[in-house]
Amino acid sequence: MMKSTDNMPLVEEGVEPPPNETRLTIWHKTKANDVKINVEPTATAKSSNCSRRRWLWFGLLTPALMALTGLIFYQQGLWYGLAALYGSLMLLLLIKPGWRWFYIAAVTGPRDTVGVIAYIRLLLFVKRQQRKNLNVADLFEANVAQHPDKLAIISDSQQWSFRQLNEHANRVANVFHSHGYKKGDVVGLLLENRAEFVATWLGLSKIGIIAPLINTNLRGTSLQHSIKVGQCTALIYGSSYRTAVMDIARDLPAHVALYQFNDAGQTSVSSEGLAQGLSQQLNELLHAAPKDKVASGASRADHHDKLVYIYTSGTTGLPKAAVITHARYFFIAAGIHYTLGFKDKDVFYTPLPLYHTAGGVMSIGQMLLFGSTVVIRKKFSASGYFADCARFNCTIGQYIGEMARYILATAAAPHDREHQIRLVFGNGLRPQIWPQFVERFNIAKVGEFYGATEGNANIMNNDNTVGAIGFVSRILPQVYPISIIRADPHTGEPLRNERGLCELCAPHEPGVFIGKIVKGNPSREFLGYVDAKASSKKVVHDVFCKGDMAFISGDLLVADERGYLYFKDRTGDTFRWKGENVSTSEVEAQLSNLIAYKDTIVYGVCIPQTEGRAGMAAIYDPTREVNVATLGAQLAASLPNYARPVFLRFLRRIDLTGTFKLRKVELQQQGFDPNVIEDELYYVQPDGSYAPLTQVIYERIQLNELRF
């Protein structure tokens, strides 16, 4: 098991868990305190026997206690009977669920109360918009009327008021209405982070047009796929992407019209686009269009109509277009607003791409629905994060993925603590760096959330618990029906009992996270993807009873006794080596801490005639700063033997998604073959140190002459 030095996770050593159990205790050591996260044993036969005995006593005592209560009622009167009834119920609760239930209820009560109140406020908010059949533009226009000159979107080069944003949106709506587009049509949007990005899809929504928000990093086949899978009838693209669009223009369906939006100072579309008659100049059309209101006779979007398509990151294949309705947009933006206690006067900072849910819904939604101000940035800068927050007087910051690790790796600066940020929120802040991050940057509260754009299983950590991505109530779990079910960690396939139904995981037992699907319920609806076949793969049937359905996340989570949820890994990323399951995310976190927070990707690779998969770590280190000579000893002090990478690869370049996720599919396919890999390769030796992986060594491994 693992050991560690200061600031590194520490796992108890020398204690062997009972059969079929695993125990992992991670310590985060900081100057202020030690934060302990326990991943406890799974349920065993012993606990099952205890449960059966408890139910037996419950079954025997219940009729006896009820009979006794009735007798007292009859002989002694009402008050004696009520006292006896109360005492009987208390005794029953001590037997089933037991005295421990009272303790858990006491310690989690404040957390659950805050969560329930926020959930009720959210449902009331959503129901109110549904009853009035309002869409996103309706709420935005109400904010425009209330404070037209308040700043809505700020960036280095732009400061747009609510009035300006609305006027641009009206121009967009009028242009496309005059061109014959109507409710239900689909117009793709390929534009960088800027005020016009929001105003464009908002304007399209005013006449019921659906806007697929396309990842600006896509090129070639991936870009063409996104336009086609979104069933676009037109595409609006920024002049910065005209080369990418022209490269695929001839391969797009003939009915797809192209509109080029030019940056400030540019007045014409590309000569190639004009010569071929492929593109129209959108700026000129917008300039001539009315700005005060949308033309009469234009269609209008209803509350449950589709608003935008948001694409998945494509880490495991081509992007899929997830459906976001107006109702779903309300639920996501308002959900985090009420759960984390956002205020309308807050100033939000998001350097995230606005074509994804995190930036485009959670942050921009605060401006559209609640009248807040949002500061955006075209491209994330680790060193500029808190500098921007201080400069623009931001009160809430957003992060995602490995962003917090990049920020933590920057040199110390005065603005690290000289800012007005009272809360940061996002997902992907690893527990291994959480304490260091909040201490260095003086962050009072972290609101970590978890969820998928297309899914209905969304959770939030509302009480600053280190490492937790959310919680499920242990007192009233039925209020928000999400669960962790037993599943194969490699395939994600649910494990079923003799009745063919799924089984809940015991506390501290890893499993796949699911959310119950209830059609018509805004918090339980599953809208899926534009591609119905892709949607069906995310639904599991006959979960806890025949005929029910749930969204299956594909992620392995674990819940502790108090209901706090912790991310463990993605199914398929966990691999087995030396008879043990290895979590890639845990190894990545440990290794990254050892090498000054550099990008690290861990995956399993096959070795001929060897059971399981050997761990391999790809480290982005183009200037070769990592000391390989000492890395083996450091890993030995931080990771158990089976979890230490067998192979190392030092990358000269790295491929990130728009949400700062690391791509590993191609790396895994390349394996550790020096014939196809130009990067430096190393392999572990019997003493734990690493040596260069040459062609001769590779051939010996293939012949099974070297064993690990």
Tens-place pLDDT, residues 218-258? 888 889 989 999 999 999 999 999 999 999 998 999 899 99
Do the domain assignments include residue 45? no
Structure confidence at residue 437 (pLDDT): 95
551: CATH: 2.30.38
| Residues 581 and 503 grouped into a single domain | no
Of 571 and 403, more confident: 403
The C-alpha angle with vertex 236 and arms to 276 and 174, in degrees rounded to 5, equals 110
598: CATH: 3.30.300.30
**Position 58 confidence tier, pLDDT thresholds 50, 70, 90:** very low
Structure confidence at residue 233 (pLDDT): 95
Structure confidence at residue 56 (pLDDT): 47
**Position 646 confidence tier, pLDDT thresholds 50, 70, 90:** very high
Structure confidence at residue 55 (pLDDT): 44
CB-CB contact of 204 with 176 (8 Å): yes
- Does residue 347 have a pLDDT over 70? yes
Q: How far is CA 387 from CA 381, 394, 396, 535, 669, in A?
A: 10, 10, 13, 42, 40
Structure confidence at residue 48 (pLDDT): 40
Structure confidence at residue 421 (pLDDT): 97
Least confident among 45-59, 196-210, 211-225, 485-499: 45-59
Structure confidence at residue 476 (pLDDT): 79
Burial of 576 (C-beta count, 10 Å sphere; 0-12/13-18/19+): middle
Tens-place pLDDT, residues 175-184? 999 999 999 9
Structure confidence at residue 326 (pLDDT): 96
- Does residue 564 have a pLDDT over 70? yes
Structure confidence at residue 39 (pLDDT): 38
Residue at 527: amino acid letter? L
DSSP 23-64: -EEEEEE-SS-EEEEEE-PPP-HHHHHHHHHHHHHHHHHHHH
Least confident among 117-131, 289-303, 650-664: 650-664
Do the domain assignments include residue 49? no
Do the domain assignments include residue 602? yes
- Does residue 67 have a pLDDT over 60? no
Percent of the chain with pLDDT strictly greater than 70? 81
Q: How far is CA 9 from CA 167, 443, 576, 587, in A?
A: 53, 21, 22, 11
| Residues 232 and 331 grouped into a single domain | yes
Structure confidence at residue 313 (pLDDT): 62
Do the domain assignments include residue 247? yes
User: What is the C-alpha separation between 596 and 496, in angstroms, rounded?
Assistant: 43
Structure confidence at residue 80 (pLDDT): 53
User: What is the C-alpha separation between 213 and 310, in angstroms, rounded?
Assistant: 6
| Residues 545 and 619 grouped into a single domain | no
| Residues 548 and 610 grouped into a single domain | no
DSSP 480-523: S-EEEE-B-TTT-PBPB-TTS-B-BPPTT--EEEEEE--TT-TT
Ramachandran region, residue 672 (left: φ > 0; alpha: ψ -120 to 50; beta: rest) = alpha
- As a whole number, mean pLDDT of residues 278-306 equals 93
Q: How far is CA 478 from CA 96, 251, 474, in A?
A: 18, 50, 9
Structure confidence at residue 11 (pLDDT): 32
**Position 430 confidence tier, pLDDT thresholds 50, 70, 90:** confident
Do the domain assignments include residue 589? yes
Cβ neighbours for 259, distance < 8 A, ≥ 6 positions apart: 234, 235, 236, 237, 279, 280, 282, 285
Q: How many CB atoms lie within 10 A of CB 277?
A: 8
Tens-place pLDDT, residues 260-281? 999 864 555 554 444 345 789 9
| Residues 208 and 249 grouped into a single domain | yes
**Position 41 confidence tier, pLDDT thresholds 50, 70, 90:** very low
Structure confidence at residue 1 (pLDDT): 32
User: What is the C-alpha separation between 37 and 22, in angstroms, rounded?
Assistant: 14
**Position 355 confidence tier, pLDDT thresholds 50, 70, 90:** very high
- As a whole number, mean pLDDT of residues 324-333 equals 95
Burial of 195-211, coded b for 16+ CB within 10 Å and e otherwise, reads bbbbbbbbbbbbbbbbb
Structure confidence at residue 641 (pLDDT): 84
CA 306 to chain centre: 22
294: CATH: 3.40.50.980
| Residues 154 and 298 grouped into a single domain | yes
- As a whole number, mean pLDDT of residues 308-313 equals 86
| Residues 654 and 556 grouped into a single domain | no
| Residues 248 and 357 grouped into a single domain | yes
- Does residue 133 have a pLDDT over 60? yes
**Position 532 confidence tier, pLDDT thresholds 50, 70, 90:** confident
- Does residue 700 have a pLDDT over 50? yes
Cα Rg, the chain, nearest whole Å: 28
Give the number of C-alpha atoms closer than 13 A to the C-alpha of residue 595, restricted to the C-beta side: 29
Do the domain assignments include residue 696? yes
Structure confidence at residue 538 (pLDDT): 87
**Position 400 confidence tier, pLDDT thresholds 50, 70, 90:** confident
Predicted TM-score of the model (pTM):
0.74
Tens-place pLDDT, residues 143-167? 999 999 999 999 999 999 999 999 9
- Does residue 121 have a pLDDT over 90? yes
Structure confidence at residue 661 (pLDDT): 60
Structure confidence at residue 186 (pLDDT): 97
| Residues 503 and 541 grouped into a single domain | yes
- As a whole number, mean pLDDT of residues 269-298 equals 79
Structure confidence at residue 527 (pLDDT): 85
Structure confidence at residue 275 (pLDDT): 39
| Residues 89 and 162 grouped into a single domain | no
- Does residue 612 have a pLDDT over 70? yes
| Residues 96 and 238 grouped into a single domain | no
Q: How many domains does the chain have?
A: 4
Output phi, psi for 588, to 5 deg: -60, -45
Percent of the chain with pLDDT strictly greater than 90? 55
Structure confidence at residue 457 (pLDDT): 80
Tens-place pLDDT, residues 358-383? 999 999 999 999 999 999 999 999 99
The mean pLDDT value of the chain amounts to 83
Do the domain assignments include residue 124? no
Structure confidence at residue 662 (pLDDT): 62
Structure confidence at residue 315 (pLDDT): 47
Of 556 and 45, more confident: 556
Number of H helices, E strands in the chain: 21, 30
Structure confidence at residue 573 (pLDDT): 73
Structure confidence at residue 46 (pLDDT): 39
- Does residue 137 have a pLDDT over 60? yes
CA 364 to chain centre: 17
Domain range for 239:
133-264+271-379
Six-digit token pair at 44? 């065993």
| Residues 291 and 335 grouped into a single domain | yes
H or E segment and range at residue 253: none
- As a whole number, mean pLDDT of residues 474-496 equals 85
- Does residue 487 have a pLDDT over 50? yes
Least confident among 23-37, 153-167, 231-245, 305-319: 23-37
Tens-place pLDDT, residues 597-608? 888 889 989 888
Bond before 692 cis per omega within 30 degrees: no
Do the domain assignments include residue 507? yes
Structure confidence at residue 27 (pLDDT): 36
Strands 680-684 and 647-651, how do they pair?
antiparallel
**Position 84 confidence tier, pLDDT thresholds 50, 70, 90:** low
